[in-house]
A and B are shown apart, each in its own frame.
Chain A
Amino acid sequence: IVGLGWFGMQTVTLIPGDGIGPEISSAVMKIFEAAKAPIRWEERNVTAIKGPGGRWMIPPDAKESMDRNKIGLKGPLKTPIAAGHPSMNLLLRKTFDLYANVRPCISIEGYKTPYTNVDLVTIRENTEGEYSGIEHVIVEGVVQSIKLITEDASRRIAEYAFEYARNNQRSSVTAVHKANIMRMSDGLFLRKCREVAEGYKDIKFTEMYLDTVCLNMVQDPTQFDVLVMPNLYGDILSDLCAGLIGGLGVTPSGNIGANGVAIFESVHGTAPDIAGLDMANPTALLLSAVMMLRHMGLHDYGNKIQTACFDTIRDKKVLTKDLGGNSKCSEFTADICRRIQDLD
């Protein structure tokens, strides 16, 4: 929770991104203005540049802005195929040590999927695990990938998960693992989760195998609350849960780093085919911005904006194309702004 700054306004670094990024970012800014949220936006670009020593890094003014403001909102970033630099998401993650990826998945009334009443949060360890990138060719035709699990990272993510559960009035945390097969690595992760759970007796702690979670998730997702897991399982499960509520176009996401840094983002692609045509759906970025408000302690504004957004979708009168309607992005945004003003 970050305290309010000068004049009660909090500055947030905004990274519009590529493709439909700029238009959905301006939609979010308009909605925040209508809600009179105490947020001041500082726009920055994070296209990778080559720093001293030949290492790729994000521009220094972007880094300085993030370090100062601590909170960021990011649109979709293009990962060029033959650019030579690593993916931008990877670069941001390394630069700010973003160790926790949080994805709340809540069913959106009005956007019907086969699954109803989904209300769960996936918290994924984002720095190590199967994505450590350590691979070797041992002999011709035999490849080994190393999955790294450390005590510190496991403890850190478990602590974050329980803190999140407590701050957001969640009743249970489930650790997802495969300790029957990966005895030492997932065993270590599980032990750390159990240790941290001892300090949070008000929250129920359970453990479940990855396959059991997958099996139960597609049959009855309402039984899950907060899920915490290592990197690969988190990647698969968070996308699975996004699929339950309607896909990446309506799913918010937040990355929490060490030193209080937090970057909230939309996880869909840049959609270059509809960029600039006022057809984009700003819901994912908007819900991520709502997550950001809650992280900053501004729950009232967050709830107001979320209610207005869900009401607009439930009403079905001005939906963008991907939600099944044929309105423009600006019309969708204007409708949400109107509802916010009506709520006041």
Chain B
Amino acid sequence: MAAHSAVLSMSKIINPFWGGRLGNTVKCCTLSSMQLITYEMLMLQPPPAKYGGRHTVTLIPGDGIGPELLNHVKEVFRFSCVPVDFEVVHVNSALESEDDINNAITAIRRNGVALKGNIETNHTMAPSVKSRNNLLRTSLDLYANVMHCQSLPGVQTRHKNIDIMIIRENTEGEYSSLEHESVSGVVECLKIITRNNSLRIADYAFRLAREKGRSRVTAVHKANIMKLGDGLFLQCCREVASGYPDITFDSMIVDNTTMQLVSKPQQFDVMVMPNLYGNVVSNVCAGLVGGPGLVPGANYGRDYAVFETATRNTGKSIAGRNIANPTAMLLAGCMMLDHLRLYDYASMIRNAILTTMNETRLHTADIGGQGTTSEVVQSIMRNIQSKGPLTTDL
């Protein structure tokens, strides 16, 4: 953690008015005994609001539908007088140099929180040009990707009553980007599983399950084939599970998991898994609850948090046509507000979104409706105006 923010957090601890929801975890300590800062406090501290109680958040528009959706987020936030300022950092995916993404990473280190669209990876370029999104995640060590899939009553789907939390290891596994061509025509790609990261993600999963009152955690793996790699992951999950006797732990092989997900998704509660299986399972679950336009996702690290849509689509084919579904990005914005501890604003906007989705039933094309993006956003803002405390003019 940067020294600057540590000092600021120290001053917050000493301030007697700090606390609120987390007051009971605060240990009173002096400046000389910073070691007494508990792990919980370090984890749950949002970045400090610097000037006038306003937060600064990095905004990375990305490609495809990212820019237009993030504009809508800015619009809704300004309308609702949310005390967040956005620092926009553009990343040009067509360039080979990594300066753009390094600037973005520096900005996120500075602000602590980011909201981003997906940056396209042009895989016709040389393999040394790595995926920008992946670079961001690994540089900032955003080790946990969390996604909450819930059936929404206003959306028609084949399966009902789905409520699954997916926690996916976000930095290693198959996404280590370590490849080489030892002999011409033979390529090796390394999948790395480490004990530390597996313990870390399992611990995160169990803590989150306990915090949200969930009863079961399922580890998804393929340890019958990858005995050492996924075997290590599974073993780490079991070790962590033994420290949480109130939560049931079981495991399932990934191909069986996908089969169960399309026939009986209601059996799953919390799922934890390495990187690639997380990619598959999170996309399957997003499809089950209604599609990529509905589910927000969050990437948490020890010091930083980046929010985006759960399925990370660029949406090139629907970009600029005003038909994209703004729900996922707006809900990601609400998750960000929760992270910044602006809970009232978050629930106000979230309720407005869900009202538009479930009661007004104004849907975009991807969930079977005929509304445009702007119509949905306008409806959300009208909803906020009718219920919220203070808004600017529509």
Q: Which A residues lie at the B interface, using CB under 8 A?
A: 113-115, 130-131, 133, 135-137, 140-152, 178-185, 187-188, 190, 210-212, 214-219, 232, 235-240, 242-244, 247-248
Which of these, B129, B189, B194, B287, contacts A182 with CB under 8 Å? B189
A158 to chain B, nearest CB (A): 14
Which of these, A184, A214, A235, contacts B284 with CB under 8 Å? A214
Indicate if the CB atoms of B179 and A185 lie closer than 8 Å.
Answer: yes
Indicate if the CB atoms of B195 and A215 lie closer than 8 Å.
Answer: no
Q: CB of B214 within 8 A of chain A?
A: no
Residues of A within 8 A of B194 (CB): 141-143
Indicate if the CB atoms of B187 and A188 lie closer than 8 Å.
Answer: yes
Residues of B within 8 A of A181 (CB): 121, 131, 134, 174-175, 177
Residues of B within 8 A of A143 (CB): 192-194, 228-229, 232
Contacts of B187-230 to chain A: CB distance below 8 A = 187-196, 222, 225-229
12 A-B pairs with CB atoms under 8 Å apart are A114-B159, A131-B225, A135-B226, A140-B195, A151-B186, A181-B174, A181-B177, A188-B185, A214-B283, A215-B292, A217-B284, A239-B255
Q: CB of B254 within 8 A of chain A?
A: yes
Indicate if the CB atoms of A239 and B291 lie closer than 8 Å.
Answer: no
User: Which chain B residue shows the least CB distance to A221?
Assistant: B262
| Extra 5 A-B pairs, beta carbons < 8 Å, given A131-B226, A150-B185, A210-B279 | A115-B158, A151-B186, A178-B174, A214-B287, A240-B262
Q: CB of B385 within 8 A of chain A?
A: no
Q: Which 6 A-B pairs have the closest CB atoms?
A: A141-B195, A243-B259, A218-B287, A151-B185, A183-B127, A239-B255
Q: CB of B10 within 8 A of chain A?
A: no
Indicate if the CB atoms of A243 and B261 lie closer than 8 Å.
Answer: yes
Q: CB of B258 within 8 A of chain A?
A: yes
B327 to chain A, nearest CB (A): 15
Q: CB of B370 within 8 A of chain A?
A: no
Residues of A within 8 A of B226 (CB): 130-131, 135, 145
Tell me, in angstroms, the Cα distance from A8 to B179 when the chains sit together: 52
Q: CB of B256 within 8 A of chain A?
A: yes
Tell me, in angstroms, the Cα distance from A27 to B123 when the chains sit together: 50
Residues of A within 8 A of B313 (CB): 212, 215
B369 to chain A, nearest CB (A): 15
Contacts of B133-179 to chain A: CB distance below 8 A = 134, 158-159, 174-175, 177, 179
Residues of B within 8 A of A243 (CB): 258-263
Which of these, A136, A142, A148, contacts B186 with CB under 8 Å? A148
B141 to chain A, nearest CB (A): 16
Q: CB of B4 within 8 A of chain A?
A: no
Indicate if the CB atoms of B127 and A141 lie closer than 8 Å.
Answer: no
Tell me, in angstroms, the Cα distance from A212 to B185 when the chains sit together: 28
Indicate if the CB atoms of B287 and A180 lie closer than 8 Å.
Answer: no
Residues of B within 8 A of A185 (CB): 179, 187-189
Tell me, in angstroms, the Cα distance from A185 to B176 when the chains sit together: 13
Indicate if the CB atoms of B283 and A144 lie closer than 8 Å.
Answer: no
Residues of A within 8 A of B286 (CB): 215
A233 to chain B, nearest CB (A): 8
User: Which chain B residue shows the least CB distance to A137?
Assistant: B228
Residues of A within 8 A of B180 (CB): 184
- Say whether, besides A150-B185, A181-B131, A239-B256, A210 and B280 are in contact (CB < 8 Å): yes
Indicate if the CB atoms of A152 and B185 lie closer than 8 Å.
Answer: yes
B192 to chain A, nearest CB (A): 5
Indicate if the CB atoms of A242 and B259 lie closer than 8 Å.
Answer: yes
Indicate if the CB atoms of A211 and B311 lie closer than 8 Å.
Answer: yes
B37 to chain A, nearest CB (A): 27
Q: Mark B311-332, 1 if CB is under 8 A from A, else 0.
A: 1110000000000000000000
Residues of A within 8 A of B288 (CB): 218
Indicate if the CB atoms of A179 and B190 lie closer than 8 Å.
Answer: no
Tell me, in angstroms, the Cα distance from A162 to B229 when the chains sit together: 34
